[in-house]
Each structure stands twice: as structure tokens, then as C-alpha cells.
Amino acid sequence: MVQVTLINYTPNPELTIATAARSSTSPSRVTKLRNELTPKQVENLLKRLLESGHLSPFEHASFTFAIEGISRVTSHQLVRHRLASYTQQSQRYVSLKEHGYVTPPTISSRPEFTAKYQQAIEAAHKLYSDMQATGIPMEDARYVLPQAIKTQLVMTMNARELLHACSLRLCLRAQWEIVELFEMIKSEVEKVAPYLGAELKPKCYRLGYCDEKESCGIFPTKAAAKTK
């Protein structure tokens, strides 16, 4: 089971973003601006920034997550978001004595494949363990491990990159596991930054149309929207 825990974040992240934004157009000292901003002013300012596309102030708030139980398939997708920091459990130094793995719902719902899938995972892990027992180093034995093997990592991402990542990964056409992961990330952010958390959503909600070749159905494609 995937687990996401917010283990650290910029204190008062929404106020920090708003203060940074206000400081660019005000002669007042930053500390004075920060102390004078009301919660409603913060919310209104964040709203204006998002609507205008002025997103650089969002880079001043960052969030650090402990992510556990995702497959290597999903961790490979995750690290493609380059404007973030990652520290992942090393298969060179950590022996995977327990072979936790992820089973896609499309496989678990097919009994004729579920057993074969489990057998393949277990056979790979047994070979992995047997090779280590004969002195083959972990860094070489790991070559037989499937991408379904579970991993854990720490990820730090600023609010601007979170908006971008969620705009892609919360799309219903994204792969199920990474959608599930970013739904949990969104939930963790909402606990400490409710307005920002609510804005973590697929890009179609901001665009008003789907810019992919095919739509999931929530919004029409851009071409279809033009014909209406």
C-alpha cells in the first residue's frame, strides 16, 4: 500500500508566497508586508497570481514528502519531474530480503494471470537471493528484479513544480499508480496549505479544455471545444 507523509515544509507556505509576490511591487519592508497581510488578502493574491500565470512566487514554498510502497515503474515516472530533489532507497546497499511488490488492478482482476504474475515475481526474488548467497554483490543481483518491486524515497518539491506535476499526474489518463500517488500528495498539502492544495488539479480545469489528443471526458479536446 502506498503511503505519503509530509515530513517538512516551509512554515506558513501560503503567506510566504503572498509576501514574496507583494514585495516585488511595494516599497515597504518585507517583514512589514508579511505582518500586515490578512488571510483573505493572501487568498485573493494567490488567486490573482494563478489566474495571471505569475508563478515565480510559488517557488518560495517547498514541501518534503516521505513516499513509501510505490513500484519502480512509478518512481521512474516521478523523477522525470526535474525541478525537485529525490533521495531513493538504494538497491546497491539495501538487500531486499522481503519482496514487496505492486500488482496492477488489471492483473489482480484476472485470476488466470494473477498466479503467474506472483510466481514470476517470486522466482525473480529467489534468484536474486540465491545469487547473493553465492557472493554476487547486491548491485549485480538486482538486475533480475522486476519493476514491480516496491521502493521508498524522500522528495522535495516547491509549490510551482507541484502545480505543474499535479496538472499532469492527476489527469485521469495518467497511469493509475501515479494518479494515486499525487492524490495523496495533494491531500497532504491541503492539511497545511488549503488554498494551494485545492489548486492542485489536472491542467484541463485551468485551460477549460483538454490539450491531449484524446480527452478522458471531463472537458472536450481543444479542437472539439472550438467547434462548439
**At 222, which amino acid appears?**
K
Q: In what order do the strands lie in the sheet with 3-9?
A: 3-9, 62-71, 150-158, 84-88
Q: Which residues 6+ apart lie within 8 Å of 196 measured at CB?
A: 13, 14, 17, 46, 58, 61, 159, 162, 189
Q: Is 82 a catalytic residue?
A: no
Of 77, 52, 55, the C-alpha closest to 180 is 77
Q: What is the rounded CA–CA span in Å between residue 35 and residue 50?
A: 23
Q: What is the rounded CA–CA span in Å between residue 145 and residue 73?
A: 12
Q: Which of 22, 72, 160, 169 is catalytic?
A: 169
First to last CA, the chain: 43
Which DSSP symbol is given to 132? H
Q: What is the rounded CA–CA span in Å between residue 130 and residue 122?
A: 12
Q: What share of the chain is helix, strand, coil (3-state, %, to 5)?
A: 55, 15, 30
Enumerate the active-site residues: 169
